[in-house]
A and B are shown apart, each in its own frame.
Chain A
């Protein structure tokens, strides 16, 4: 692409109109030159509409001080991110500007117009070649590898090099910087290109270098019981967490970012509180990842464009995040992208759409809201790579519905495309029933690690108990039969010891699959037993005591002495009360011997 220039015609908030000389592309990056206190600043912007020789650009910075006739330089490149070794453990803004490095240069505040390299040009990486001269390669094929922390980082043929190439030269094993040429490739016509360990990819285009897309089947274990057991997420799947403010969306994502059984986590802090990212930022370098024994930060990338940072960059931030996720997927890794909150991203689109004076849809969101949301979640998936291995990107997004009402456009558009819905309930969070995922309204299309039939049985028990609970509000305890009352107690028990989970307890905070199976089997036993009680009062205190033990059991170290003791006690307590099997469970229990 050629590099055009232009002049500012008008300014409206963070949208600037430009008259362009030469060609310009949609999503092309341009820089507006502005005089700021006698200092010249170049403000990064992106073309979002073109009409004749007039282009509208969204500016990723404060637009104060821009004047008519200010010079605009277009780059000929689309908004892109740098891909290469050295992304892990980094903290970037929505445009991949490294924030700690920016702080080192500018101090407390985010100065306008300062853009630093996303990848360190000085750091060297121990490169080992994986191809020989004469071999034929295509985009995304591995040329060599470098160790990046715990991972084998593949140095690949840049994704934008379409067609096939012959390797003419390949660097010997050794230490190189990311911009060092490590290979020369020749296309069919013999034209040679040099390849380094880094390249760029436009963020708004999905990385499509794979053999085939597969159906998400394997569970992505979050170690949150209610999710893994009742509303599981699959590797390569998508899920959303809508909920009113204070219901626990962010805490749930923070827990997941720590405990999820995936290789890499990309945290996209999109338009919400800066303080919440700081917790991750400061704590991850100190926390050990039980899977690897290294710090959590080594498997994490943080994209941080919080609420007071420029809105246009917020819009870009989720794309920056998903592009980095796709890049690591190409190495055969399982990547989890957590975006908090996708509503802020949608609002960024709404702000821009308003300035463009587009015809508004519901709640003034643009008419294309649905398709853009769908397009974003579509970038999740499991893929079979050309080398036969699999990689995946899983996307989990929070949604912050206006007024906590799920009938609003962003929640609705998201529900149409995701594979699991973890709806947070104000009632449950007010009652401190964390995580406040609603057990009756949430759903998942994925298969989890726990036996389906058993889970369905427990779900029915929850429904039944809930019905009794509702009825009891009207007729009182006096008007409820003992049998119904027991279902109520069983479902309350299930809630207290299984659905609720103490995020701040060292043991209970993260429960792996093995332990979930074990605990769920205990719970299942209780649910399927017909229990004999003389009166409600007796039943209530029996359940209260059992609950206390089960909660202690949840806090006991896996297969330690206390764990074994409590397990025995719970089982024998249940046995002592058993008067048979619930009718509707006979078949299920029978199958299991």
Chain B
């Protein structure tokens, strides 16, 4: 029989304090209030004084409520029965299915030994040219979408999830709007992907502590599936909500904030989640695609800033498009040399020209004279935006590269493209050879 403690000494925010014996750090307890039972986790031991973070929140807890320690840390049931199911941040069903209690595993486990990691090697195709051509996504990569709120980031996320060639999808929702949750469910059901998907969803109206559990529970399950040979794609949206929950708890615990109220270990906390992305040699893999909304469109805000230092690049979503500048896949060079001979050249060449286009636009807005070259660039930029950048474009990589060549051919003489002669001879649409160009600026 477990000992029942019925004297809660302090309640501050979501943190309660009791005096108890034989308690272990990081273990769980149940707190029974007149509103029901909640789990709580030991977050501090000071002699017999035990501080616990209550998953359902501190609201309504009375000093006379009962606390029972369970003698183990947070766990989740792991089996194929998870597939197609929807849970909350604690792993309790949100759908009509039965609760799962078999084969419990701990969450927030140790990190992978760096010596066991391998160099990532497989591209994940998405059908989105701004990703496939310009910033290829790689199996085992960790990559967030940086976005201001209001941008269609969840649409983008679900689209990538549906099109990505992976074995299964785990959606970790944090502070998700209920509508967005329903949206994800709908898209995956319609796409017939539900049977290979697990949802761990914390919605905006759920207790804040449960938000903190979502990445760990999602990634613990992902890790087990990956060890079993599955290529798992984990979607985490929105990690800024996760960080904000952490901030809230830190402030309750009277920790000294480091930057705009966020705790000093924000970086380590985010890193320990994102670093779960891995390719297990001889087994499966975990790829993490996150969403990080940027308060005030400010990339130097602590959450996107710390995230950028951790993840392997980022996709900037702005005005409904993935921006070529600022977007980066740090792993792309590991895969884009094995796709098609012209991949890297098209990638670099088109971006350089697009940068020149932006300069011309700026010049134009300053009222400077447009040269012939500027006019060409303006035409190119418009085509690039509508035919490549627009998120409605959905074509395989090879077709996107071909389209790149035809855009170039429509706007420039071959030598103005700045691409190598050998490639031009092979790929320039009219089968054309290098014609002498009127302007030298093309090689800029």
Contacts and interface: CB of A to CB of B under 8 A. Distances in A.
Interface of A: 8-13, 17, 62-68, 91, 99-100, 102-103, 106-112, 244-246, 269, 271-275, 277-279, 281-282, 304, 306-309, 311, 344, 347, 350-351, 354, 360, 363-365, 400, 402-405, 430-432, 476-478, 504, 540-541, 544-545, 548
B111 A279 contact: no
B290 interface: no
A309 B44 CA distance: 21
Shortest beta-carbon contacts, A-B, top 6: A403-B300, A307-B271, A64-B26, A308-B275, A541-B440, A364-B258
B323 to A, nearest CB: 11
Contact of B444 (A63, A67, A430, A544): A544
Given A91-B115, A279-B119, A351-B265, A10 B45 contact: yes
Contacts of A65: 24-27, 73
Contacts of A281: 114-115
Contacts of A277: 114
Nearest to B254: A357
Given A246-B313, A476-B366, A363 B47 contact: no
A540 B443 CA distance: 12
A432 B443 CA distance: 16
B268 A307 contact: yes
Nearest to A17: B46
Nearest to A274: B114
Contact of A66 (B24, B263, B440): B24
Nearest to A344: B267
Contacts of A111: 110
B110 A112 contact: yes
B267 A99 contact: no
Majority secondary structure, A binding face: mixed
5 contacts: A63-B26, A68-B21, A271-B271, A275-B120, A432-B352
A12 to B, nearest CB: 5
B377 to A, nearest CB: 15
Contacts of A306: 111, 114, 275
A12 B440 contact: no
B23 A68 contact: yes
Interface string B253-277: 0011111000111011001100110
Interface string B335-360: 00000000000001000100100000
A64 B45 contact: no
Given A67-B22, A363-B258, A476-B366, A274 B45 contact: no
Contact of B256 (A275, A279, A364): A364
A11 B114 CA distance: 28
A476 B113 contact: no
B309 interface: yes
A308 B119 contact: no
A112 B113 CA distance: 12
B312 A103 contact: no
B308 A10 contact: no
Contacts of B73: 64-65
B207 interface: no
A65 B25 CA distance: 5
Given A68-B45, A274-B111, A307-B267, 9 more contacts: A65-B27, A66-B45, A103-B116, A110-B113, A273-B310, A354-B263, A360-B256, A364-B259, A365-B258
B409 interface: no
Contacts of A282: 118-119
Interface string B369-411: 1000000000000000000000000000000000000000000
Given A63-B26, A363-B259, A404 B300 contact: yes
A111 B272 CA distance: 15
A400 to B, nearest CB: 5
Nearest to A100: B115
Nearest to A19: B47
A432 B352 CA distance: 9
A11 B45 CA distance: 5
Contacts of B256: 354, 360, 364
B268 A311 contact: yes
Contacts of A354: 255-256, 263-265
Contacts of A360: 256
Interface string B53-80: 0000000000000000000010000000
B191 interface: no
Contacts, number: 189
Nearest to B314: A246
Question: Contact size class for B?
Answer: 35 or more
A310 to B, nearest CB: 9
Contacts of A275: 117, 120, 312, 331
A456 B112 CA distance: 49
B316 to A, nearest CB: 11
A459 to B, nearest CB: 25
Most buried by A among B256, B300, B355: B256
Nearest to A34: B24
B328 interface: yes
Contacts of B312: 273, 275
A311 B263 CA distance: 15
Contacts of A269: 114
A109 B25 contact: no
B113 A102 contact: yes
A545 B440 CA distance: 8
A246 B332 CA distance: 14
A350 B24 contact: no
B368 interface: yes
Contacts of B325: 430
B239 to A, nearest CB: 15
B45 A246 contact: no
A431 B355 contact: yes
A108 B113 contact: yes
A274 B275 contact: yes
Nearest to B273: A308
Given A109-B110, A344-B267, A278 B118 contact: yes
Contacts of B26: 63-65
B280 interface: yes
Given A12-B44, A351-B264, A99 B115 contact: yes
Given A67-B22, A308-B275, A278 B113 contact: no
B109 interface: yes
Nearest to B442: A544
Contacts of B47: 9-10, 68
A104 to B, nearest CB: 9
B265 A110 contact: no
Nearest to B444: A544
B166 interface: no
A363 B305 CA distance: 15
Nearest to A68: B45
B309 A272 contact: yes
B259 A402 contact: yes
A102 B115 contact: yes
Nearest to A282: B119
Contacts of B119: 278-279, 282
B156 interface: no
A450 B11 CA distance: 68
B424 to A, nearest CB: 15
A273 B311 CA distance: 8
B341 to A, nearest CB: 16
A99 B114 contact: yes
B258 A274 contact: no
Contact of A11 (B22, B44, B109, B330): B44
B358 to A, nearest CB: 11
B110 A350 contact: no
Contacts of A402: 259, 300, 302, 305-306
A544 B373 CA distance: 15
A304 B268 contact: no
Interface string B277-321: 000100000000000000000001110011011101100000000
Contact of A109 (B113, B259, B271): B113
A309 B112 CA distance: 9
Nearest to B344: A504
Nearest to B258: A364
